Amino acid sequence: MSAPGGSLSALAAAVLQPGFVGVTPPPWICRWLDEGLGSVVLFARNVVAPEQVAALTATLRAQRPDVIVAIDEEAGDVTRIESARGSSRPGNFALGAVDDPALTEGVARDLGADLAALGITLNYAPDADVNSNPANPVIGVRAFGAEPALVARHTAAWVRGLQAGGVAACAKHFPGHGDTRVDSHHDLPRITADRARLDAVELAPFRAAVAAGVQAVMTGHLLVPALDPELPATLSGRILSGLLRDELGFSGVVVTDAVEMRAVADRYGFAGAAVRALAAGADAICIGGERADEDSARLLRDAIVAAVVAGDLPEERLTEAAKRVGQLAAWTVAARAARPPRPRPTAAGSAVGLAAARRALRVTTAPAGVDALPLAGPAHVVEFEPPRNIAIGPETPWGLAAPLADLLAGTTTARYAEADVPADPTAGAAGRCVVLVVRDLHRHDWMRAAVTRALAARPDAVVVELGVPELVTGAVHVATHGATRAAAHAATALLTGR
């Protein structure tokens, strides 16, 4: 992929990965593809049905055959292609709980083949973070686990599987977002580990990803004083060029996390963060989660050009970045050509994923709960809904109420957020089995208090944890290790015996 005429404007466009609004490419995207734009990224707002996505990517490719079409499809709680129904595959945490790298590789290969059938060529996954801090508000079940060696072997397996399916993988969030209580969408996390700890924990999965041939690495907006006491990783030459390139030996594309995120935009400005990231060694600038319009893309393009003209961004660095994006584009073209034809995914989802989710279930039973499963009759399902982080998004459904109601006639449901939990959350459950559905119970004081009251009223209640099972409570506790559709169906089968 070369910039038409080698112009600075075309080079600047080549390193952008913008999103857009709509289920068809807007005119400005098509025009920019003719003018040097090398990549676009799809979000849930761009996805309605497989046929529509395939038509969208075909339109993009008609404008530029080697365009990189990216998506953020972790195939767990963070899903874009199945956002309307929830993912039919288990997420990383569930795969880590099973701890069968061959299964992880198979699930990722199945996903890669589905994405490739839709015309998608780059996936912002896997999440290679080690979730060593249980209070982490943004990683959690997106990680394979809290143990570095486990995360490393499954990161490598996921990379191998996805790329064997024909789609470039992108390990994130370098150098590791697991040990923090701060969400970088909102503020700048600070990772206080020393270099020895970083080598042993945070960096281990990224070393494994590089060894597995990962095509891209996404930066995290993280301040890591042991590596750079002043600049976030996305803007740090010490981290991107010194550590990732020179020490870890990564030669692929470095993609930024979205530069409109407050961790960097609030401190360095939207355009300032993009320019600094390129100067530090990033090759592609991800935008469009929140700023998905031509004016935002133009602002970044023009700022990049102005920085080159002013001498703040060496033209050689911009040329190098555009060249790496072009090399990734060539890889995706070759991968598409080598991939055998496969039917587009259907609404039923992945049979491979649904089977994997069943293997991830874990049941902890106290003596009083030995005979509690399967449920003896209709259930009253109480779901406690915590706030969602931006990465998951508000549109993806979760919970057990709907699948249980489909199988158990007479089942009733209630869902409570923090502001509306009654004194007795099990009120109305007389004559029914009680199922308490939680998500990261250990992180929410209000939820723990509500579950304590519910178990006092109904000690026979079954607790189903759809997040990280850090806190196990109740006579029967079921951990799904994720809130995907696949996890919900696996839990429902267990609860009903069907």
> Whole-angstrom Cα distance, residue 384 to residue 425?
10
How crowded is the C-beta side of 348, counted as CA atoms within 13 Å?
4
257 assigned to active site: yes
Are 161 and 106 spatial neighbours (Cβ–Cβ below 8 Å)? yes
Residue 107's identity, in one-letter code, is: V
Helices 148-164 and 101-117, axial angle in degrees (round to 10): 40
End-to-end CA distance of the chain: 53
If you count them, how many residues does the chain have? 498
> Whole-angstrom Cα distance, residue 86 to residue 480?
14
Cis ω before 394 (30° cut-off from 0): no
Find the catalytic residue in 127, 183, 257, 283: 257
Residue 285's identity, in one-letter code, is: I
Within 10 angstroms of residue 351's Cβ, the number of other Cβ atoms is 10
Residue 419's identity, in one-letter code, is: A
185 assigned to active site: yes
> Whole-angstrom Cα distance, residue 495 to residue 498?
8
Are 269 and 303 spatial neighbours (Cβ–Cβ below 8 Å)? no
Beta strands in 251-306 (DSSP E): 253-255, 285-286
Using a 10 angstrom Cβ sphere, with 0-12 exposed, 13-18 middle and 19 or more buried, the burial of residue 316 is exposed
Task: Quote the tokens at residue 287.
Answer: 């935008």
Find the catalytic residue in 154, 185, 442, 481: 185
How crowded is the C-beta side of 221, counted as CA atoms within 13 Å?
26
Catalytic residue numbers?
185, 257
